[in-house]
Amino acid sequence: MAIPLSYNIRNLAVRKTTTVMTALGIALTVAVLLAAFALVDGLRVAFESSGHPLQILLTRKGSDSELSSNFARTVFNELKYKQGIARSAKGEPLASLEMVTVINLVSQEFPEGSNINVRGLTPIGLEMREDMTLKQGRWFTPGRREVTIGNSVAKRFPDAQIGKKLKFGRGEWDVVGVFESPQLARNSEILSDLNQAASDFERTDVLSSALIRATDAVAHQALINDLGYDTRLNVLARSEKDYFEMQTSSGDLVRYLGTFVALIMAIGSCFAAMNTMYAAVARRSKEIGTLRILGFSRRAILASFLLESILLSLLGGLFGILLVLPLSGITTGIGSSVTFAEVAFQLHVSPQIMLKGMVFALFMGAFGGFLPAFSAARKQILVALRQV
């Protein structure tokens, strides 16, 4: 027969201070792990929400990112009437030639400045990003030195505000509007007119990339194959979704660091839990003896103490989750491993992450509690009863 759970709960409650301190130690360990996970998950959400499933990004073969890519206008003109490319309401092909560059802006978090993507595009490019809505102001006017900035940029950089001017290329650009998109990675960009930007950077003939939209999923794959294998064009064709997902690797270093630190801390917390449980076993020697006399088996004692340790770590896991919950929603930026520009994202504590934290805590409790529980179960009845 098993020893009732209430016995363990009461014991934890009686030793309030010890219980709370051990649980807090476990909580901090869990919190470190979860904070790293929340960061990486926020990044994943930002990138996975981005990209249109039917759109294809074309860059120069060999270029991982749009920033390092060169895309000639002539190549674009050659491919924009390809079969399988969708048309707009006006009958134009949904293909957009774009130029991407970066500028350096200073934020509160990074006083040294971070790089922000500036994208020059034509009206058709805006049309292909129908998910973007104006939040404030208006879109840039083609032919003018105007920019419309993404919501995350407006939030994070005091210099990028409506009515202010940004200095890049050959001069100043007016900020005329702020846009917002549910495709979160887009919000970290600054948009301007393609031809204005291209002439500023002396790139009128060679731009960065092209975005095209396929009519359906079959045409999407066909276009990727067709364009990718055309050696004359020398372009790399990737689904826009893949391009964004690839950038999730930007969080790798933080994830490795967080996991490494949490694992080391977990060893420490395991030993602390072990300490607590050994003390509990030593103090309750007489009780153990009594329980044995009452007929509880060694196995029941082992299970009971192990359970108590697990309960303790459960409490720690809960505390840990409570500690990281306030982090959820905090916005921070990280340099994308692909574009070298900052992507803003929100830390995201998802239920899966909480579950991972709980499991992590339970493992600590189980490991820390096993040896003490074992020693409790092994006690001889008479010796146990005689112990002071």
Q: Which residues contact another protein (rule: CB under 8 A)?
A: 17-18, 21-22, 24-25, 28-29, 31-32, 35, 39, 60-64, 67-70, 101-104, 109-110, 112, 114-115, 168, 170, 202, 249, 251, 253-254, 257, 261, 264-265, 267-272, 274-276, 278-279, 283, 332-335, 340
Residues in CB range of 25: below 8 A, 6 or more apart: 268, 269, 272, 273, 316
- Smallest gap from Cβ 128 to another protein, in A, equals 25
Give min distance, CB of 247 to another protein, in A: 12
Q: Are 135 and 145 in contact (CB under 8 A)?
A: no
Closer of 8 and 250 to another protein (Cβ): 250
Nearer to another protein, 132 or 185 (CB): 185
**Least distance in angstroms from the C-beta of 265 to another protein:** 6
The pair of three-digit structure tokens given for residue 376, joined into one six-digit string:
């409790």
Identify residue 156 by its one-letter amino acid code: R
C-beta of 18 vs 215, nearer to another protein: 18
Question: Reduced to 3 states, what is the DSSP secondary structure of residue 129?
Answer: coil
Residues in the chain: 388
Closest by Cα among 28, 6, 20 to 361? 28
Minimal distance in Å, beta carbon 38 to another protein?
12
* Rounded least distance, CB 118 to another protein, Å: 10
Alpha carbon 283 to chain centroid distance?
Answer: 46
**Exposure class string for 336-349: b at 16+ Cβ within 10 A, else e:** bbbbebbbbbbbbb
The residue among 15 and 82 lying less far from another protein, judged by its C-beta, is 15
Q: How far is the CB of 32 from another protein (least distance, A)?
A: 5
**Cβ density class 28-61: b for 16+ within 10 Å, e for less:** bbbbbbbbbbbbbbbbbbbbebbbbebbbbbbbe
Residue among 84 and 320 whose Cβ is closer to another protein: 320
Among residues 92 and 109, whose Cβ is nearest to another protein?
109
Cβ atoms of 197 and 144 within 8 Å: the answer is: no
From CA 205, how far away is CA 7, in angstroms rounded?
Answer: 79
Which residue, 128 or 239, has its beta carbon nearer to another protein? Answer: 239
Nearer to another protein, 105 or 227 (CB): 105
Min CB(252)–another protein separation in Å: 9
Nearest to residue 110, comparing CAs of 337, 348, 344? 344
Q: Could you give the 3-state DSSP secondary structure of residue 62?
A: coil
The Cα diameter of the chain in Å comes to: 94
Closest approach of another protein to the CB of residue 156, in Å: 12
Residue 380 structure tokens? 């001889």
User: Which residue, 86 or 246, has its beta carbon nearer to another protein?
Assistant: 246
156 versus 213: smaller Cβ distance to another protein: 156
Q: Which helix (DSSP H) or strand (DSSP E) does residue 27 occupy?
A: helix 16-48
Q: For the CB of residue 36, give the shortest distance to another protein in the complex, in Å.
A: 9
Phi, psi of 310 (to 5 degrees): -65, -40
Residue 301 beta carbon to another protein: minimum distance, rounded to whole angstroms: 19
Instruction: Give the distance from CA 82 to its chain's centroid.
Output: 37
Q: Is 231 helix (H, G, I), strand (E, B) or coil?
A: coil
